[in-house]
Amino acid sequence: MNVNYKIACYLSAIFALSACNQSVSQGTKTTESTEKPCEPELDLSPEKLDRFGITNKEYLSAASKRALQWKYVENDWYRVFNEMKPLKGDLAYEEGVVRRDPSAMIKADGLYHVWYSKSVGKTDGFSGDVEKDKVFPWDRCTIWHATSEDGWTWKEDEEAAIPLGEKGTYDDRSVFTVEVMVWDGMYYLCYQTIKSPYNVRTKNEVGLAWSKSPNGPWEKSKEPILKPADNGIWKGEEQNRFSVEKKGDFDSHKVHDPCILPYNGKFYLYYKGEQMGEEILYGGRQIRHGVAVADNPKGPYEKSNYNPISNSGHEICVWPVDGGIASLITTDGPERNTFQWSPDGINFEIRAAVKGANMPHAIGLNRTIEVSKDNPTAIFDWGLSHVYNSWHYQSIMRFDSYRKTSHVAQGAITPKGEKKKDEQTDN
């Protein structure tokens, strides 16, 4: 089958076209479906045609057909991010120190709380002795905790909240990229773990810790709560992560960026999957998200049969809204820089694109902000993110954004007759 044809069908599916009935290849033998492929049912109402500037419905380009099939053409989800701003106190940039991947913020005892990865020293990469060197900025990290009264000036604890495990345990090399969940009077931290040695074929896992207080002490799970799929096959013995005989599931190499949300009486652990032999594929790195579900915060977690649940993305950024789960998909893949929403926590559809300028990286949501059906992205009014001051050192900064539902000049009247309070005008 023609590759361009398959891509056109795939793009159409992104914007909710009806399913394509494509030929199925079985070795060298190909069988064709008797149904017509990629035949969407188009809304050709005068109102829809006029809105999209289509004056001749007899001549519709592929782009026009996709536009006529968009399910969501309102802008309630659209956000514009401002430039990030530096924090004060202990979370201000510090030369020689890595602080990155902030968790969501919660509030307890009148203070904002955040957890994050912290390490010191430059990154050496994989060219030296991986037993002694620091191969990534997130290598040799521990998880730290800081508090703030105003979200600007932060006080860091004197010791790590989550230290490394004893030598030989699954978390003896690095613990990093943490998220927090509060449930039934308990605090839960889920995070990535690495067991030494850290080479390019190392398969990281996910750990969990819990406490009755955001200040600890924390009890850690003795075993990982989530592992990569075990159905890929490396090719040869050389440390080459792109050389595989069988790639396996979408998460056959790594499970990253865990985040647990209580939902529908269960606990949904969202995570990023990296596949063995990961490719640069149609829109950047071949990164997708998955979910595992448990009846108890401590597990056991069972991966959904519907994984992967995204075609794109990088760091997990999810929040509950309107009876479902929303997700901001960033960085990688053909659906990057989109807000998506699922009515069941598994089946996500695009709700809006997001302006890419100033996009935060590794977002720490502000879970103290309430969201609603009328303003589903209010949680992005402000929060935390890390920035790369250099490849060696990162720091945590504060982001903010505003909702934009119309395009007007300063002082002009919006389409609805007045300027909304949560918007800015164009100059």
**Tens-place pLDDT, residues 264-323:** 999 999 999 999 999 998 888 999 999 999 999 999 999 999 999 999 999 999 999 999
Position 421 in a domain: no
- Which tokens is 397 given? 């900064």
Write down the pLDDT at residue 410. 79
Tell me the residue type at 259: C
My answer on whether 307 and 379 are in the same domain is yes
Quick count: other Cβ atoms within 10 Å of Cβ 140? 23
Q: E strand or H helix at 148, and its extent? A: strand 142-148
The pLDDT of residue 10: 39
308 and 316 Cβ atoms separated by less than 8 Å = no
**Maximum distance among all alpha carbons in the chain?**
70
pLDDT band at 38 (very low <50, low <70, confident <90, very high): low
- Quick one: what percent of the chain has pLDDT higher than 90? 79
pLDDT band at 19 (very low <50, low <70, confident <90, very high): very low
Residues 27, 86, single domain; the answer is no
Confidence category of residue 9, pLDDT binned at 50, 70, 90: very low
Domain count, the chain: 2
CATH number of the domain bearing residue 272: 2.115.10.20
Domain of residue 169 covers 79-403
214 CB-side CA count, 13 A: 22
Query: Looking at the structure, do residues 36 and 167 belong to the same domain, yes or no?
Result: no
- Are residue 312 and residue 354 in the same domain, yes or no? yes
Distance CA 118, CA 145 (A): 10
Report how far Cα 292 is from the mean position of its chain's Cα atoms. Answer: 15
What's the confidence (pLDDT) of residue 416?
Answer: 67
Q: What mean pLDDT comes out for the span 223-235? A: 97
* Residue 424 belongs to a domain: no
pTM: 0.89
What is the per-residue DSSP string for 203-238? --EEEEEEESSTT---EEPSS-SB---S--EE-SSS
Give the pLDDT confidence of 63-77 residue by residue, as tens digits. Answer: 999 899 887 777 889
- 122-126, 136-140, 324-328, 404-408: which range is least confident on average? 404-408
The stretch 112-128 carries a mean pLDDT of 96
The pLDDT assigned to 27 comes to: 33
Give the three-class secondary structure for 352. Answer: strand
Q: What's the start-to-end Cα distance of the chain, in Å?
A: 49
Task: Report the pLDDT value the prediction gives residue 7, as an integer from 0 to 100.
Answer: 36
At 413 the pLDDT is 78
Task: For residue 293, give both structure tokens.
Answer: 């579900």
CA distances 412 to 59, 214, 403, 405, 409, Å, are 36, 47, 17, 14, 5
Same domain for 10 and 32, yes or no, is: yes
> In degrees to the nearest 10, what's the CA dihedral of 371, 377, 379, 384?
170
**6 pLDDT band (50/70/90 cuts)?**
very low
What are 81's strand-pairing partners? Answer: 401
Confidence of residue 386 (pLDDT cuts 50, 70, 90): very high
185 token code pair? 């009077």
Q: What is the DSSP letter of 269?
A: E
Residue with tokens 């994050």: 116
Report the mean per-residue pLDDT for the chain. 89
64: number of Cβ within 10 Å: 17
Q: Give the residue-averaged pLDDT of 336-352.
A: 96
Contact 111, 148 (CB under 8 A): yes
Within a domain: 22: yes
Can you give the pLDDT at residue 422? 53
The per-residue pLDDT for 37 is 53
Same domain flag for 234 and 318 = yes
- My answer on whether 189 and 234 are in the same domain is yes
Does 334 lie in the same domain as 359?
yes
State both tokens at 292.
């595992």
228 vs 245: CA distance, rounded Å: 17
Domain match, 193 and 320 both: yes
Question: Can you tell me the mean pLDDT for 131-150?
Answer: 97
CA-to-CA dists, residue 148 to 299, 349, 367, 368, angstroms: 31, 36, 15, 13
In this structure, is residue 144 part of a structural domain? yes
Q: Are residues 30 and 103 in the same domain?
A: no
- Residue 59 clears pLDDT 50, i.e. is over it: yes
